[in-house]
C-alpha cells in the first residue's frame, strides 16, 4: 500500500511493525527515522505516501513538515506504562515520574497512587518541555523516570534509573488498521472530488467562487470561456454589483458582446466572512436548449400550435370569454371547458397552455371517447415490462407522464368509463401516477384541462359520472358559446376560412349583403366546424362567394340534418307557444321512435301520448 508509510523513530519499533504486518498479511513500507537524517527525503522517495504512521516526537515533526498529509499516532497503552513502572519498583524506586509526549499516552498531568509508591504523570508537547519535566521530577525527589526516548536521555544525564515506554503489538496493529481506514476514506473522497470536478468542467454553466475580497478562488473551464481573455483579477468588475447584493433571480449582463444569464449566491464561511458563488450561462445556449425541447415535443406531436392571437372574435360575448380564458392561463388550477360540438374547445385549451408558464413544455391532447375500452388504463397511466401479454419489453409511458411539466387536455371527459374514474380522480388529487404492473409512484407536475359537450350533473345523477370527480375538475369553468350566440363573429370567421383555403388576403374575399344575411340566419348546429366546412365548399368557386351556391350548401346541410336520426336540433318559429313547441317535439319523436320509446324519452304515459297524437291529428285537419 504505497499511500501509507510507517516512520519508526528507532529500529525496535520498526521490527514490531514488521511482525504485525506479517501476521495481518499487509505490505506497507517502513523507514527508520534515525536513518533519514531528517524528513526532507521522504517526499522524494515516497511521493505517493499520503498517510504516515509514527510515534511521539517523530509524529509531531511529520505533522509540521507535511501539513497536507495525515499522521496516525502509535499510542502506548496504560499497560505499557505500568510495565515500566513495575520494572523500576523492582529496582527499588519509590518516587517515579512518567514523562513523555502527550500523543503517546492518553493521560493528563496527575499524581497517582501505585501501591505504596508515588507516581507523577507529566505529558509534554515538545522535547524542551520533556527536559524541564524530568528536572522537575528529580527536584521533587523522583528516583526513577519512565518515558519516551527524550525523557530517558534526560534521565541518563542525571544518572538516575529509567525505563522506556514501549508500544505493544496491539497498539501497533490498531495504528495500522486506523491508517488503512483513513486511506479508504481518502480514496473515496478523491473519487468523489474527481467526479465532481469532471461534472463541473463538463456542464454548460460557468461557475466561479469569489472570496471576501471578490477575487476568484475557484472556477471551471466554462467560466474561463465566458470571460475569454479578461484577466482573472478583473472578473469581479463585470459582475461586482451582483456580488455586493445577492440577487435570487437571474439577471442578464453583457460580457465580450455576449448576453450572459447570471445567478449569485452567498456562501457564508463564518460570522464575519462570506464567499460568493456566481453561476453563468450564455443566453444563446439557453435558447438552443429551449429550441431542442420544443423540437423534441414537436417530433412527438406534443405541442400546442394555437395562441390567443390566432383566435378571431369581434362579438362582445367572445371578448369576455377570451379575457376570462387569459386570466385562467395565469393560474395552475384545473380548467373545465364546456360547449357544444365544434365550438373550438381544444383551440382554447391550446391557447391557455401557450399563455401559461408551461408554454415550453409538452401539450398532450387526449380524446377520451377514442381510447379503446380495454386499453384506457395502459394509455393513460402507462405500464412496465411484462405487465400483461403483448406489453412492450421496455414498458411505456402513459399520457400523464408524457405531459410531465406541461398540460394534458382531456377532451370528452365524460366518456371515461366509470371503472377508471376513481384512478383518474386519484391522479388529479395526488398529482402522482403508478404504471400498470409497477409498485413505484411517479410524481407529476402537470396542468389539467378538461372539456365536454355534455351537462355533467345529469350524468352524475344517473350514476354515469362520479360527483367527486366532477367537483375536482370543475375548478375554473369556461363556457364557449355556440356560434348562433356570437352572430358578430360568423361573417369574419367565414371570410378568414375562405381566405385560408384560397391562400389569399381576407380583403380579396367578396360576399354580398344577401349572402351575409344567409350566414347570420343559419342556426349552425355544427358551430365553427360546420362554418369551416361551408367556407371550404364555397371557396371552390374563388374569392367571390356566390349567394346561390351558399344557399345550396345550406339546403344540402338541412336535408342531411333532417334525415339524420341522431339530429337533435328542431326548427321552431320564434313566436311559437309552449303547446306548439311540445307538439313539434312529439311529432319529431314519433317520426324516429316507436310508441314505447317515445313514452320513455318524453316521460309521458301512453294515455297522455295518445291525447297528444289526437290533438296533432285534429290540428292538422282543422
Task: Provide the grid cell at 367.
Answer: 380524446
Q: Kindly report the pTM of this predicted structure.
A: 0.47
Question: Is the separation of the CB atoms in 496 and 312 below 8 Å?
Answer: yes
* 249 contacts: CB under 8 Å, gap ≥ 6: 263
E strand map for 241-368: 251-255, 258-268, 274-282, 335-338, 363-367
Q: How far apart are CA 211 and CA 277, in angstroms?
A: 9
Q: Kindly tell me the burial class for residue 254, based on how many C-beta atoms sit within 10 Å of its own C-beta (0-12, 13-18, 19 or more).
A: exposed
* 203 contacts: CB under 8 Å, gap ≥ 6: 220, 222
CATH number of 78-166: 3.40.50.10660
Query: Can you give the pLDDT at residue 582?
Result: 74
CA nearest 361: which of 409, 432, 397, 398? 409
DSSP string, 583-614: HHHHHHHHHHS-HHHHHHHH---HHHHHHHHH
DSSP string, 69-118: SEEEE----HHHHHHHHHHHHHTT--EEEEEEETTTS---SEEEEETTEE
By 3-state DSSP, what share of the chain in percent is helix, strand and coil, each rounded to 5?
50, 20, 30
Query: What fold is seen in the domain 4-75+172-182?
Result: Rossmann fold (3.40.50)
Give the gyration radius of the chain's Cα atoms. Answer: 45
CA nearest 411: which of 348, 482, 504? 348
Q: How far apart are CA 350 and CA 345, in angstroms?
A: 9
Q: What are phi and psi of 125, to 5 degrees?
A: -95, -15
Query: Can you give the pLDDT at residue 565?
Result: 44
Question: Is the separation of the CB atoms in 385 and 392 below 8 Å?
Answer: yes
Q: Which residue has the cell 445567478?
A: 263
Question: Is the separation of the CB atoms in 130 and 100 below 8 Å?
Answer: yes
DSSP string, 461-490: HTTSS-HHHHHHH-SEEEE---GGG-GGGH
CA nearest 90: which of 163, 139, 164, 168? 163
Task: Provide the grid cell at 81.
Answer: 506504562
Query: What fold is seen in the domain 301-479?
Result: Rossmann fold (3.40.50)
E strand map for 283-406: 335-338, 363-367, 382-383, 396-397
How far from each other are the two terminal CA atoms of the chain, in whole angstroms?
Answer: 117
Task: Provide the grid cell at 180.
Answer: 488503512
Q: Which helix (H) or strand (E) element contains residue 294?
A: helix 283-300
> Max Cα separation, the chain?
152
- Indicate the angle between helix axes 316-329 and 345-354, nearest 10 degrees: 40
Q: How far apart are CA 313 and CA 340, in angstroms?
A: 17
Question: Is the separation of the CB atoms in 274 and 254 below 8 Å?
Answer: no
CA nearest 279: which of 251, 254, 244, 258? 251
3-state secondary structure 127-140: HHHHHHHHHHHHHC
Query: Can you give the pLDDT at residue 618?
Result: 61
Query: What fold is seen in the domain 484-563?
Result: Helicase, Ruva Protein; domain 3 (1.10.8)
Give me the residues paired with residue 99 across strands. Answer: 122, 147
Considering the segment(s) 204-284 as one domain, its CATH architecture is 2-Layer Sandwich (3.30)
Question: Is the separation of the CB atoms in 156 and 71 below 8 Å?
Answer: no
Query: Can you give the pLDDT at residue 566?
Result: 47
Consecutive sets of 10 residues in the chain, 622 residues long: mean pLDDT of each?
Answer: 87 91 92 66 83 89 89 87 89 90 73 69 89 92 91 92 89 92 91 85 82 80 80 71 61 76 79 80 66 51 81 88 93 92 91 91 86 75 66 71 89 88 87 82 90 91 90 92 89 88 84 87 86 85 82 65 50 66 75 73 74 64 53
The phi-psi region of residue 110 (left if phi > 0; otherwise alpha if psi is between -120 and 50; otherwise beta) is beta
- SS3 category, 58: helix
Query: Can you give the pLDDT at residue 16?
Result: 92
Amino acid at each position: 500500500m504505497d499511500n501509507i508509510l510507517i516512520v519508526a523513530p528507532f529500529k525496535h519499533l520498526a521490527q514490531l511493525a514488521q511482525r504485525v504486518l506479517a501476521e495481518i498479511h499487509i505490505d506497507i513500507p517502513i523507514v527508520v527515522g534515525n536513518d533519514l537524517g531528517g524528513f526532507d527525503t521522504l517526499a522524494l522517495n515516497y511521493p505517493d505516501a499520503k498517510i504516515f504512521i509514527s510515534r511521539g516526537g517523530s509524529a509531531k515533526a511529520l505533522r509540521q513538515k507535511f501539513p497536507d498529509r495525515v499522521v496516525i499516532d502509535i499510542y502506548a497503552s496504560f499497560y505499557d506504562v505500568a510495565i515500566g513502572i513495575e520494572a523500576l519498583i523492582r529496582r527499588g524506586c519509590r518516587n517515579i515520574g512518567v514523562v513523555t509526549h502527550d500523543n503517546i499516552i492518553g493521560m493528563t498531568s496527575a499524581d497517582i497512587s501505585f501501591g505504596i509508591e508515588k507516581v507523577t504523570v507529566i505529558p509534554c508537547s515538545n522535547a524542551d518541555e520533556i527536559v524541564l519535566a524530568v528536572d522537575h521530577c528529580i527536584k521533587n525527589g523522583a528516583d526513577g523516570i519512565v518515558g519516551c526516548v527524550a525523557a530517558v536521555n534526560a534521565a541518563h544525564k542525571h544518572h538516575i534509573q529509567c525505563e522506556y515506554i514501549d508500544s505493544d503489538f496491539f497498539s501497533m496493529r490498531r495504528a495500522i488498521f486506523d491508517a488503512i481506514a483513513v486511506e479508504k476514506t481518502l480514496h473515496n473522497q478523491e473519487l468523489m472530488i474527481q467526479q465532481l470536478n469532471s461534472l463541473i468542467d463538463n456542464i454548460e454553466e460557468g461557475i466561479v467562487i469569489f472570496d471576501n475580497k471578490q477575487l476568484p478562488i475557484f472556477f471551471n473551464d466554462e467560466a474561463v470561456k465566458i470571460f475569454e481573455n479578461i484577466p482573472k483579477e478583473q472578473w469581479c468588475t463585470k459582475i461586482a454589483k451582483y456580488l455586493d447584493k445577492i440577487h435570487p433571480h437571474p439577471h442578464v449582463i453583457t460580457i465580450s458582446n455576449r448576453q450572459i444569464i447570471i445567478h449569485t449566491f452567498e456562501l457564508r464561511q463564518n460570522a464575519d466572512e462570506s464567499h460568493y458563488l456566481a453561476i453563468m450561462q450564455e443566453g444563446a445556449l439557453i435558447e438552443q436548449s429551449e429550441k431542442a425541447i420544443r423540437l423534441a415535443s414537436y417530433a412527438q406531436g406534443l405541442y400546442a400550435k394555437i395562441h390567443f392571437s390566432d383566435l378571431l372574435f369581434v362579438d362582445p360575448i367572445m371578448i369576455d370569454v377570451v379575457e376570462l380564458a387569459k386570466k385562467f392561463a395565469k393560474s395552475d388550477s384545473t380548467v373545465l371547458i364546456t360547449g357544444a360540438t365544434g365550438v373550438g374547445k381544444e383551440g382554447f385549451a391550446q391557447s391557455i397552455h401557450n399563455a401559461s408558464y408551461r408554454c415550453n413544455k409538452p401539450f398532450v391532447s387526449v380524446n377520451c371517447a377514442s381510447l379503446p375500452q380495454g386499453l384506457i388504463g395502459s394509455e393513460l397511466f402507462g405500464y412496465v415490462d411484462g405487465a400483461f401479454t403483448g406489453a412492450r419489453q421496455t414498458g411505456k409511458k402513459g399520457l400523464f407522464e408524457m405531459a410531465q411539466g406541461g398540460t394534458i387536455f382531456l377532451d370528452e371527459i365524460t366518456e371515461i368509463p366509470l371503472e377508471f374514474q376513481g384512478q383518474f380522480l386519484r391522479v388529479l388529487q395526488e398529482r402522482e401516477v403508478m404504471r400498470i404492473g409497477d409498485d413505484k409512484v411517479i410524481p407529476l407536475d402537470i396542468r389539467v384541462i378538461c372539456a365536454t359537450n355534455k351537462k355533467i350533473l345529469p350524468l352524475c345523477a344517473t350514476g354515469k359520472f362520479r360527483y367527486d370527480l366532477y367537483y375536482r375538475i370543475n375548478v375554473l369553468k369556461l363556457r364557449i358559446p355556440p356560434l348562433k350566440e356570437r352572430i358578430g363573429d360568423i361573417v369574419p370567421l367565414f371570410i378568414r376560412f375562405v381566405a385560408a383555403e384560397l391562400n389569399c388576403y381576407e380583403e380579396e374575399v367578396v360576399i354580398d349583403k344577401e349572402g351575409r344575411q344567409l350566414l347570420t340566419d343559419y342556426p349552425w348546429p355544427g358551430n365553427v366546424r360546420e362554418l369551416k366546412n361551408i367556407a371550404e365548399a364555397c371557396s371552390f368557386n374563388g374569392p367571390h362567394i356566390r349567394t346561390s351556391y351558399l344557399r345550396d350548401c345550406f339546403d344540402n346541410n338541412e336535408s342531411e340534418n333532417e334525415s339524420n336520426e341522431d339530429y337533435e336540433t328542431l326548427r321552431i318559429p320564434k313566436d311559437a307557444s309552449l303547446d306548439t313547441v311540445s307538439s313539434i317535439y312529439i311529432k319529431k319523436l314519433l317520426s324516429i321512435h316507436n310508441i314505447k320509446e317515445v313514452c320513455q324519452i318524453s316521460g309521458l304515459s301512453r294515455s297522455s301520448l295518445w291525447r297528444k297524437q289526437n290533438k296533432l291529428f285534429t290540428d292538422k285537419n282543422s
